[in-house]
Amino acid sequence: QAAEALGSHGVTVEAIEADLATEEGVDRLIAGIGDRDVDLLFLNAGRGLGRGFVDQDWKKVRRIIDTNITGTVYLAHQLGARMARRGRGRILFTGSIAGFMPGTFQAVYNGTKAFIDSFSIALRHELRDTGVTVSVLMPGATQTRFFERAEMMDTKVGTDEKDNPADVAEAGYEAMMDGEEQVISGWKNKLQVAAAHVTPAGTLAEQHRKMAEPGSASKD
């Protein structure tokens, strides 16, 4: 669908089906790119998983980590090195404001996003003299199928009003093209992050519980 939408604008689009949770999948994508120069790299693959950590299926937990961290970092390593050798390129990671708070009942996901938020800024400073810019988009809850796939539609965060994905994508694209270090989309999310910086971790964890605990959608 995305390929068809982009192709309607008169550009050539090649879709490559690959499992970015695996090194083999990333290698498949890189092989599809071949020797073509990569000017813009959007690292947006990500998955979530609700419920308590010890109640989750380990294979699902591992897949979250492999998608959100391992595959993302491997792809950044392979294509980032090519950009650095060429002396130009732009990379946009999709992190999350979830990375600023302990994610009670979403512990693995928030942990992976804390990694991406930190890693992307560190990589930016490593590459600052190479002509390659690295930016990180930190959205809040966005109106996609994320919460449905994460089995969180009985939670408050799963059923609350969410941000428009087009607005979030535009904020990330503009930040990348402007060479900004990071962008938090939406003023409510900016306020939430500002509050997180001065709120004890235990308090944040309890606040997150009220949003992500199974059955919280039906609570006052």
- Asked if residue 204 lies in contact with residue 196, where contact means CB atoms within 8 angstroms, the answer is yes
> Could you tell me the two tokens for 170?
């535009």
Q: How far is CA 23 from the centre of its chain?
A: 18
* Annotated catalytic residue, options 109, 150, 192, 211: 109
In terms of Cβ atoms closer than 10 Å to its own Cβ (0-12, 13-18, 19+), residue 156 is middle
Q: Give the C-alpha distances (Å, rounded to integers) separating 167 from 105, 117, 205.
A: 27, 20, 28
**CA-closest candidate to residue 189, choices 113, 90, 89:** 113
How does DSSP assign 66-114, residue by residue?
IIIIIIHHHHHHHHHHHHHHHT-EEEEEE--GGGGS--TT-HHHHHHHH
109 as an active site residue: the answer is: yes
Buried b (16+ CB within 10 A) or exposed e, 125-137: eebeebebbbbbb
Q: How far apart, in whole angstroms, are the C-alpha atoms of residue 46 and residue 164?
A: 18
Supply the residues annotated as catalytic: 109
